[in-house]
Amino acid sequence: MAVGDVSMPQMHVVKGVKIGTAEAYVRYQNRRDLVIFEFSEGTQVAGVFTQNAFCAAPVHLSKAHLLAGNPRYLVINTGNANAGTGKIGMQNAEATCAKLAELANVKVTEILPFSTGVIGEQLPIERLVKGLQPALDNLNENAWLDAATGIMTTDTTPKGASEQFVLDGVTYTMTGISKGAGMIRPNMATMLSYVATDAPISRELVQLLLKETVNVSFNRITVDGDTSTNDSCIFAATGQAGGIEINSVNDARYSVVLGVLTRVMKRLAQLIVRDGEGATKFITVAVEGGANTQECCDIAYSIAHSPLVKTAIFASDPNWGRILAAIGYAGVPNLDVEKIQVWLDDVQICKDGGAAEDYTEEAGAHVMSQSEMTIRVDLGRGDAKDTVYTCDLSYDYVKINADYRS
């Protein structure tokens, strides 16, 4: 179902990161649904979380624990989001952390909990807690694929990215996984991502790197415009491959790490779009020539969210009036439509706000028939630009979301 090559790459080991998985029967039988990450002492961890006001109990708890210090363990279950679950939900998230803290002999605040799955049902806390020891028992460095599989909900494929890079003669690894297929799954909730490196990076820069790279990756994708109650992304730097700590953005090594992390995060984010519910096409929406980045982003999202643009792409119909309309209602003030150019890949469809003279439906339809394409818009009023990734809207999107619980 997923669009393009979504195969798992070789998942390089990250020194200082061990992963354990177990079958805890949270919702389904015969599948790994509990994942534990163990970080070596001194690992620097940063997290970003959903902006949804209805954020889930484990999100509240993870945020609080992150403020308290440096986490040593992540515990993730799939099958149940522990969202919309009130006080009992919070007690269950706390109980999970308490039990793992006891088993692993760390402080409860050194554990970050995550849940994904059905909203509005209570966690089967007894089964979940029973799975913790088995997961701890099989902690090992080579379980990134197991982890990627163990956090899936209705994803059709596990999602991973991994790179190695050299700084001052030392080889470092950056490896990560993600899950998600709609911004919210059929009452699943939704996007999780965990990325780790064994490079030595200061806590401040780990946070900065995460913020910078999330903004060009997970904050630039959309399947259906719905934002989950559970979205979380964690970046950890163990420092276990050695070398001197990177603690300044002026350190030349910072730029290298930023480049690697950007590629890894973009890949993990784009894999979610490629596995988008019912997706048959992967679409890059690139807006340039803006007065500022925000207006480029607003227009890119307006196009990427438009059900009419997305159904036209599903039908390989170069229906450019829908793209113009989506630009027009993005709410950008004082837009001079006569300066706007629009391309489908290299085919210019709109010139100075009207149809391009040499445009033909055949040329447009050819681009639209591909499984990957770029919609490029030039606003003609500045140097700012931004890019958003999305997929088309197909029968299967409705089918998946309408049929899920029936």
Catalytic-residue membership of 311: no
**Binding mask of the shown chain, residues 65 to 94, with x at each position contacting a second copy by CB under 8 A:** ----------------x-xxxx--x-----
277 labeled binding residue? yes
Which of 327, 367, 377, 388 binds a second copy (CB under 8 A)? It is 327
Return the residues of window 105-134 that contact a second copy according to CB under 8 A.
118-120
- DSSP output for 76-92: EEEEE---S-HHHHHHH
CA distance 79 to 27: 5
In degrees, rounded to 5, the angle at the alpha carbon of residue 254 between the alpha carbons of residues 259 and 230 is 65
Return the residues of window 141-200 that contact a second copy according to CB under 8 A.
182, 184, 186-187, 189
For the bound state, the minimum distance from the C-beta of residue 122 to a second copy, rounded and expressed in Å, comes to 9
C-alpha to C-alpha distances, 140 to 14, 86, 146, nearest whole angstrom: 11, 35, 11
Q: Does 34 bind a second copy (CB under 8 A)?
A: no
For the bound state, the minimum distance from the C-beta of residue 50 to a second copy, rounded and expressed in Å, comes to 8
Query: What residue spans of 38-124 are helical by DSSP H?
Result: 57-68, 86-104
52 labeled binding residue? no
- Which amino acid, 336? D
Q: Does 355 bind a second copy (CB under 8 A)?
A: yes
CA distance 147 to 150: 5
Tokens of 400: 């998946």
Which of 226, 245, 251, 345 binds a second copy (CB under 8 A)? It is 226
Comparing CB distances to a second copy, the nearer of 26 and 100 is 26
Q: Does 328 bind a second copy (CB under 8 A)?
A: yes
Give the DSSP H/E element, type plus range, for residue 402: helix 395-403
CA distance 146 to 165: 24
Quick one: CA dihedral 105, 147, 392, 281, positive or negative?
A: positive
Residues within the interface to a second copy (CB under 8 A):
51-55, 81, 83-86, 89, 118-120, 182, 184, 186-187, 189, 224-229, 305-308, 311-312, 314-315, 317, 319-322, 324-329, 332, 335, 337-338, 350, 352-355, 393-395, 397-399, 401-406
Q: Summarize the annotated binding site for substrate as residue ranges.
A: 153, 179, 190, 277, 401, 406
Which positions are annotated as active-site residues?
190
Residues of each annotated binding site = 153, 179, 190, 277, 401, 406
